[in-house]
Amino acid sequence: MKASELRAKDAAQLSKELDELLRAQFGLRMQKATQQLTNSSQLKSVRRDIARVRTKRQDGQDGDGTGRAPRHPSDVRKDRDPLEEVPRPRRKKRVRRG
């Protein structure tokens, strides 16, 4: 499946395509388990197609078109400079006994 084919589809068509790909992946896994799978590269291509569809669906959900979720909840705030370093909680040091 090409990316250009995915760009032409709407959300309902992408959901249907994802469902079909997940069913195909399940069938291929069952064939592999029963040693009936002759072309094992099909697993790889179906897995990548699933990732493409999920990525395209995510691109449509957020507003910025990057397809990426914020890395940390504090990154979502709009009053911050996006290039400013976000403070992260520090780990507690382990006490070694013995």
* CATH code (residue 41): 1.10.287
pLDDT at 15: 92
Q: What is the pTM of this model?
A: 0.60
Asked, for residue 26, whether it belongs to a domain, the answer is: yes
For residue 18, give its domain range.
3-63
Asked, for residue 78, whether it belongs to a domain, the answer is: no
Asked, for residue 35, whether it belongs to a domain, the answer is: yes
Asked, for residue 81, whether it belongs to a domain, the answer is: no
Domain count, the chain: 1
pLDDT in tens, 41-64: 999 999 999 999 999 988 776 545
pLDDT at 89: 76
Pair of tokens at residue 88: 């992260």
Distance CA 15, CA 19 (A): 6
What 3 state SS string does 4-67 have?
HHHHCCCHHHHHHHHHHHHHHHHHHHHHHHCCCCCCCHHHHHHHHHHHHHHHHHHHHHCCCCCC
* pLDDT tops 70 at residue 74: no
